[in-house]
Amino acid sequence: MGERKPLIAGNWKMNLDIGDAVKLVQTIGASLKDDTDREVLVAPPFTSLPAVKQAIGKAKIFLAGQNMHWEMKGAYTGEISGRMLQQVGCTHVILGHSERRTLFGESSEVVDLKVKSAVFLGLIPIVCVGESLEERESGRTFAVLEDQLNASLQNFRADELMPVSTILAYEPIWAIGTGKTASPEQAQEVHVFVREWIGKTFGPVPARDVRILYGGSVKPSNIKELMSMPDIDGVLVGGASLKAEEFIPIIHYGE
């Protein structure tokens, strides 16, 4: 117990057509060793999920949805439920990504409903939090993150302890797609804060076992340094996960 296996996750966002998605996941799968000490995950667009699942075959690659609705079914035009994600082979779902929060007005309270639904279904949520450049520069990083964590995970406090399979992702908004990266030390400082918050809120076992990923301009040139930090348990990769020649070296860092 207590071993946090590194997780390398690729969020493809609204990119790659079905053929390109299949080719990419086949190339990733062919690069993986059977006895790998890390987990690999991809989150394609909804329309590519069935084809990517088929293309994964026996490779050890987890499949995630990029979002979901909290209800099981109903009159929610344009939405997809967690159960629908499971039916096409998803084991994980990304929730509260900063693009959902900033571009689509998704509040932490809505993220909380989705997290509760995902856990009820047995989907593993990857819950994202992060601060803007203005919030960081005004010294409010920790206050903002604490507010997001409290509101995005409040159902656990109300109903049950946080399952240790839950994954948190720290994504500084100022580092997503901007080419700016939090330094490994900056990221580690925030990850320590998040782990301490978990301990304070849920106790020592989740604090020890819950994985915290870093996301924000992760690339082959900075992955090794990021992963050398004791509280960075993996990465959520955006742009660099769309090209095999960038994502595969990230997956195999340090090998």
* Distance separating alpha carbons of residues 168 and 149, to the nearest angstrom: 9
For the chain, give percent helix, strand, coil, nearest 5. Answer: 45, 15, 40
Give the orientation angle of helix 18-31 with respect to helix 49-56, to 10 degrees. 30
- CB count, 10 Å around CB of 100? 18
- CB count, 10 Å around CB of 63? 21
Question: Torsion angle of alpha carbons 112, 113, 118, 120, nearest 10°?
Answer: 110
Which one, of 193, 255, 195, lies nearest residue 223 by Cα?
255
Q: Which two tokens stand for residue 45?
A: 């667009």
Catalytic residues: 97, 171
190 in helix, strand or coil?
helix
